[in-house]
Structure formats: C-alpha cells, structure tokens
Amino acid sequence: MARRNLFQPPPPPDAAAKDTKPRFPNTGAMSGVKSTLKDLSSNAVRDIPIDAIEENGPKDRLSLNDADVAALAESIRAHGQQVPIMVRPIADRPGQYRIVYGRRRLRALRTLGLPAKALVRSLSDEQAVLAQGQENAQRLDPSFIEKALFAAELLDTGYDQAVILDALAIDKPMLSRMTKVARTIPEAVIQIIGSAHGIGRRRWEDLADSLRTHEIDLAALVSGLDHAGIGRSDDRFALVSDAVARALRARATPPPGPAPGLSVTAQDGTRLAEVKETARALTLKLSKTETPEFARWMRDNAEAELMRLYEAWQSDTRSG
C-alpha cells in the first residue's frame, strides 16, 4: 500500500475502508501523530523568520550537499517555496520553533534570506519523529546507512522501539541489522563515505561483519587512503571496502620462514657447523655426532675465540 501524501486530504470513508491493513501500526504515538497531521491541506501555512527556527534534533541525512542546496535555492528564487516545512513550537521560548522536517529547504531559504513557509504543529518528541520518518519515506528516499544512523540515534536518545519501527516503517530484525552496522562502522568513516545510495544493506553488513570478526581498526586504515579526489559516494565505499579486503588478504598470507642456514664445511668435506639467522639472533650450531672432538674444543675455547673474533672485527671497523 502506498503511503498517503501528507499534503492531500484523507480519502473518503468508503475508500479508506478498503485498506484492511494500514501501512503504519496504530500505536499510541502513531495514533497521535495521525490525528495531528490530519487534513494538513486545510490548515494555513505560516511565514516564519528563518532565525526563529532551530535545526537540532535527530538527523535523517548524513549531510546537506552544498550543490543540492544551491540548486534548490535557485529553484525557490525562481518559483518560490512550493512545499512547506514543518516546525513545532519550543514550549519555553515563545516565538521560537524547532524543525520537524524540511532541513534542506530551510538551509536553502537561509542562503536566500527568505522566511520559511511552514506548518506549525504542537507535537511531542515521539510524534515529531514519526512525522519526520513518514515525510522522509515519501520525499527523500534516504539510503540504508542514513536510515541506520537515524535509527541508532533514536535508540541512543531513548525513543521507544515501537516509535522507531513506526517512523522508519521497519520490523525488529531490520532495526537490529541497522543498529549493528551503525555501531560497528565508525561514524567518522561513514561521514567520509557519504550516503552511498547505490550501496545496499548487504554490502554494509558485510563490511561491518569483517570489522567485527577480524578486529580491524577501520579509522586508522582509512586515514591512509587518498579519498579526497573521489566524488561519488558509492566509489568512496568501494575504496574503503577494497582496503579492508586487502588487509584481510595480508593477514591470511603466512609470514616468511627463516632464512636457510649457512653450512660450514672443511676442505676434506667434513661439515663443521651450521649458522642460522633469525630476526632476533645468529646461532652457531656444531654437531656432536659428526665432529664431537671439535664441538668439545669449541665449548672449552668459545670465550677466547669469540673475543679474538670480536677484536678482529673492531680492528677491521677502525681500519675501514
């Protein structure tokens, strides 16, 4: 069932009766916001100074693209503001309002210095979130990661799970998937990637699973990537995903083995010793089975012979 346009009157009673399964559950908060938003088209739109409107509250977009805002501002300059925003009064500050939805339109109006055409509604926090979520679903088509961050922020702020499910029109398993991704991938990295509209849930989940399973420090990994020249958000996601894949392949490659030993052999073919080198030591190994007498002699004279070799090395170093 398609979502109802907030700016059109509700359907006649006989048409509404045909919808046996409403898109949004009739929870207490949802019932309140439906009542509050009923017949919006019959309510007057007010002009409100932009300086009287605050933009804080749960964010449903990663960022407001400057180019998009500029294009919208030019459209408003030419044709006027066609779609109102929604605000709600701030109870303890008469004449001041808080944005419910329409942040991009508000930002464009700020660049023009024009007042905002706004619907003013006295909504609770829960009702405002529901209105924001319904408007976003109808107009913005937010990406998966934007909805995931929005859901995680609402949970962290203390909103009831039922309100969040209604606002985003999702079920509990999807909410769990969204919050898992939003809390696993550092937000600073998500901000670098951007909204990535072409990247669906599965690829974000795969990235989050790799980080969690292999304990990869993604923020440190991304800090070494040259992403400044990559314009498309989807391409920045691919850059990060490829870097994680390379890091995992590097971990799977076995470390190089020790260098082969150097065998010291006398002129008559007797193997006297084997010299082995590792990252931490140089080892001289004498065989007690092949040259037992020489091994005993070396044991008894090792200190003197090593001192002689050391002095010879110092002499060579000074002369060099």
Q: What is the pLDDT of residue 151?
A: 87
Residue owning tokens 């002689």: 308
- 69 vs 139: which has the higher pLDDT: 69
- 1-13+22-138: CATH class: alpha beta
Cα separation, 107 vs 54, whole angstroms: 11
- 73 vs 19: which has the higher pLDDT: 73
Pick from 101, 189, 201: which is nearest to 143 by CA?
Answer: 201
Confidence band for 24, pLDDT divided at 50, 70 and 90: very low
3-state secondary structure string, the chain? Answer: CCCCCCCCCCCCHHHHCCCCCCCCCCCHHHHHHHHHHCCHHHCCCEEECHHHEECCCCCCCCCCCHHHHHHHHHHHHHHCCCCCEEEEECCCCCCCEEEEECHHHHHHHHHHCCCEEEEECCCCHHHHHHHHHHHHHHHCCCCHHHHHHHHHHHHHHCCCHHHHHHHHCCCHHHHHHHHHHHHHCCHHHHHHHCCCCCCCHHHHHHHHHHHHHHCCCHHHHHHCCCCCCCCCHHHHHHHHHHHHHHHHHHHHCCCCCCCCCEEEECCCCCEEEEEEECCCCEEEEECCCCCHHHHHHHHHHHHHHHHHHHHHHHHHHHHC
Q: What value does the mean pLDDT of the chain take?
A: 81
Query: CA triplet 129, 112, 42: central angle to 5 degrees?
Result: 50
Q: What is the pLDDT of residues 101-149, one digit of tens each?
A: 888 889 899 999 999 999 898 888 888 888 888 776 666 567 899 889 8
Residue owning tokens 């023009």: 112
Q: What is the pLDDT of residues 224-283, one digit of tens each?
A: 888 878 888 899 999 999 999 998 888 876 666 566 778 888 888 888 888 888 878 888
Q: What is the pLDDT of residue 42?
A: 37
Q: What is the pLDDT of residues 146-192, one digit of tens each?
A: 889 888 888 887 888 888 888 888 899 999 999 999 999 998 899 88
Cα separation, 105 vs 309, whole angstroms: 82
- In the chain, the percentage of residues whose pLDDT exceeds 70 is 80
pTM for the complete prediction?
0.54
